Structure 1
Amino acid sequence: MFTPQGPTLRELAVQALSSVEHGYDLLAPKFDQTPFRTPDAILAPVTRALRALGPYRTGLDLCCGTGAGLGVLWEVCAERAVGVDFSAGMLDVARRGEPTASYVRADALALPFGPVFDLVVSFGAFGHFLPRQQAELFAQVHQVLRPGGQFVFPMPAPARPGSRGYWAMLGFDAVMRVRNALWRPPFVMYYRVFRFGDVRRELDRAGFDLELRSLPELGERPDGSPRCALVVATRRDAG
């Protein structure tokens, strides 16, 4: 549909009528040929920002998919890069792309790690979590970070009301809500549920200090605000 090598419309429809896990298993072989993969235009400025924030020894890519973020971790982590995802198909593709990383199949809401990471990153996965799940998600990230460790992710500015992007996301979310009301199993993917005010509140409750950093390479909106910011959430010391 997107490129000759990408998924067809029929394949995307089958995926959308599956569970999230099975849907991504089906999409995995062609995922990197879709716009859903985090583009290098975002990965590169995040990498530059992390170099300035580091150094780090160990890093985790949360909901790593086909491994786009693993390359970022290898650029900034001296010892170990780990990808975690609940789709076996996505992990198989990631292993072929970044064979030197480690991979674990697990639910992001039940991470099988202790406090062993200096850095956790995530790219484009938060629409798969409902607002009521954010507290548990951030608590899981908190528990796998060492004290002083950082949870870092890019967060685009919200689409302006009335803009083409605003109506596209509103329409997509509406379609998904109708689909999930009529069809089982549900496929959770909403573009408008991850709002900065809620995220800031839940990160604070989970035990993080929050900082926003601009990513100037991604440009500015007409009012001068950044099109995308980097959320840097640092785990507070227990004391």
Structure 2
Amino acid sequence: MFSPEGPTLRELAVQAMSSVERGYDLLAPKFDRTPYRTPDRVLDAVASALEPLGPFGTGLDLCCGTGAGTDVLARVCRGRVTGVDFSEGMLTVARERARPAGAAPAWVRADARALPFAPAFDLVVSFGAFGHFLPRELPGLFAQVHSVLRPGGLFAFPVAAPPPPGSRPYWALLGFDAAMRARNAVWRPPFVMYYRTFRLGQVGRELARAGFRTALHPLAEFGRRPDGSPRARLVTARRAPAPAGAATGAAVRAGS
């Protein structure tokens, strides 16, 4: 599961008994050599799905970690790319690994639930971070994303289909979430990381309440399940365009 250069079992145990922020600070130097880093296959599929929806201007990688998602933004955005995360350790690694073809990304330390930006972005992406937010936090999180997008801007993120009940992945995820809930019941500070709380139906409802118009795009690279449904989708949520005749500044229309 982990490469020889990845974290040891002891290091993972220390991380798991820390807060989310402290845990990722500790994990950061070896994060890219763990399964937690979004695979290049997913990043490439998302970039390919976004390209026909552009071009985009400025981009924000929400909960950017070590910056893998900013590579996607660099492919589809013409303007400045920014990564935001609350772990200074992850941002330090992101700064070190960044090899931009154009302008260097901006790296900002901040909580996704209180973003320090004006409506300055045409595209916001996020990869693999939503398990760190409890379901009750989604309305506030999506409201924050809405607030930093220009009119007509797009919020996009991939989601995998849930594993079939009774399958090995199903029991693995169920067991992980159960272990995490037990840990948080007896240990402080809590470490919020649940794989089964980010449900597509609820997510769609909360995005709509936040003012987004949502769509689902199958990621064909991952094929389909036996019932014909996609194994992975890209969720796109668009902030409403400015009213006809209103000033839109430097907003870039990202297509429909």
**Take 1:237 and 1:132, find their aligned partners in 2: how far apart are those partners?**
27
Matched, 1:210 2:210: no
Q: Which residue of 1 aligns with 2:50?
A: 50
Structure 1 segment 184-199 matched on structure 2, within 5 A: 184-199=188-203
Partner of 2:247: none
**Structure 1: which 4+ aligned runs deviate by more than 6 Å?**
none
Secondary structure at the residue paired with 1:121?
A: strand
1:62 alignment partner in structure 2: 62
User: Counterparts in 2 of 1:1-239, with a 5 A limit?
Assistant: 2-98=2-98, 100-237=104-241
Query: What displacement does 1:237 show?
Result: 3.5
Matched residues, percent identical?
69
Give the deviation of 1:235 after TM superposition. 0.5
Between the aligned partners of 1:3 and 1:155, the Cα distance in structure 2 is: 25
Q: Structure 2: state its 5+ residue gaps.
A: 244-256
**CA offsets, 1:32-59, max 9 Å, x none?**
0000000001000100111111100100
The residue identity in structure 1 corresponding to 2:86 is F
Partner SS, residue 188 of structure 1? coil
Distance 2:237 2:204 in 1: 9
Instruction: State the one-letter code of the partner of 1:86.
Output: F
Gaps of 5+ in 1: none
CA contact (8 A) 2:218 2:234 kept: yes
- 1:218 Cα deviation after fit: 1.2
What TM-score do you get using the length of structure 1 for normalisation?
A: 0.98
Q: Distance in 1 between matches of 2:240 and 2:212?
A: 6
Q: Deviations for 1:13-34, whole angstroms, at most 9, x for unmatched residues? A: 0000000000000000000000
Using the alignment, how far apart are the partners of 1:129 and 1:63 within structure 2? 11
Partners of 1:64 and 1:218 in 2: CA distance: 23
CA RMSD of aligned residues (A): 0.9
Residue type matched to 2:187 in 1?
A: W
- State the shift of 1:125 in Å: 0.1
State the TM-score, normalizing by the size of structure 2: 0.92
